[in-house]
Amino acid sequence: MSALLEATGLAVEYHRRGAPTLRAVDRVDLRLDRGEVLGLVGESGCGKSTLGRAVVGLLPAAAGEIRFDGRAVTPLGRRRRPRELRGLQMVFQDPYASLNPRRRIGEQIGDGYVLDGVARSEAARRAGDLLERVGLSANTASRYPHEFSGGQRQRIAIARALATDPSCIIADEPISALDASAQASVANLLVALVRELDMGMVFISHDLSVVRQIADRTAVMYLGRVVEVGPTQQIWSAPAHPYTRALISAVPRADGAGVLPVELPGDVPDPARPPAGCRFHPRCPLVRPECARHDPPLTVLRDGRSAACVLQSPGEPARPLAEPHPVSPSMKE
């Protein structure tokens, strides 16, 4: 089965005057299938949001290729986005910044229909239907963004994305700006829409506890690279990369545990000057001499997941790095 969304060898660079070129995303391969939720996690500055913006064409790729439903994704310009690519939509972190404060929400949601030649009266009716679908009343279509809470505004942004009948959504930290009471409901809404409409979704987040609950597969990024990807439950129960293990151990738990382990020192290195060899080796508690010389590629292990670590051998079972992590309570409970 062909992938709904696929990135191959993707690189994204920022050119800065008087400073080294920063390669924020470096040779990333990623695949998303229809009906799947792929979690994308990592520390701040690892390239998650840059990757998401490149996937939808908001940033140009310095190398590699992005294909959506068999069609190459090109950077957005002044020309109208091809109809085939309008099925690839993005939900941003800040719902207020992504909505026009001077326009009624019904008009903003209906824009997608108007671009398709639908009469404004019919677009307004459909916008009301979308508001109902995301858990708001159709009667709120005449209101402005500032009249809603943060969680409600994010639901409006989701409704606007649905107006193009998308088959894929890139959700870039969609709940991080919301209070705790709204986070679970918005995350569960997104997953319900993916299942109901048979879409695919890349869910970008720094909150591993949320990703653990909603993602079918998880990709872990470090310093512009994907270092591990596989089924979420498999990664949580037995991470194959030391960085993945460190992220999981930092998730707060009901017993009060969950702090960054003392064996993971320092900050993320400067992405414009990444370390030689494995990029994680200066902070890795399991570092070996060859880690400073060898840059391990993302390779497939026997259990089907992929990891980029000298401790793991292609085609072999994943070497255990830690005891299984306790399962956290469901968000729905």
**What's the CA gap between 179 and 23, in Å, rounded?**
33
330 or 205, which is more confident: 205
- For domain 33-60+83-87+167-333, which CATH number applies: 3.40.50.300, 3.40.50.150, 3.40.50.2300, 3.40.50.720? 3.40.50.300
Handedness of CA 17, 22, 24, 26 (dihedral sign): positive
List, for residues 3-48, the tens digit of each pLDDT value. 999 999 999 999 988 888 899 999 999 999 999 999 999 988 899 9
At 319, the pLDDT band (50, 70, 90 cuts) reads confident
Domain map (residue ranges) of the chain? 33-60+83-87+167-333, 95-163
Quote the pLDDT of residue 63. 96
For residue 313, give Cα distances in angstroms to 233, 234, 304, 310: 21, 17, 12, 7
Quote the pLDDT of residue 327. 41
Quote the pLDDT of residue 112. 86
List, for residues 209-258, the tens digit of each pLDDT value. 899 999 999 999 999 999 999 999 999 999 999 999 999 888 876 665 55
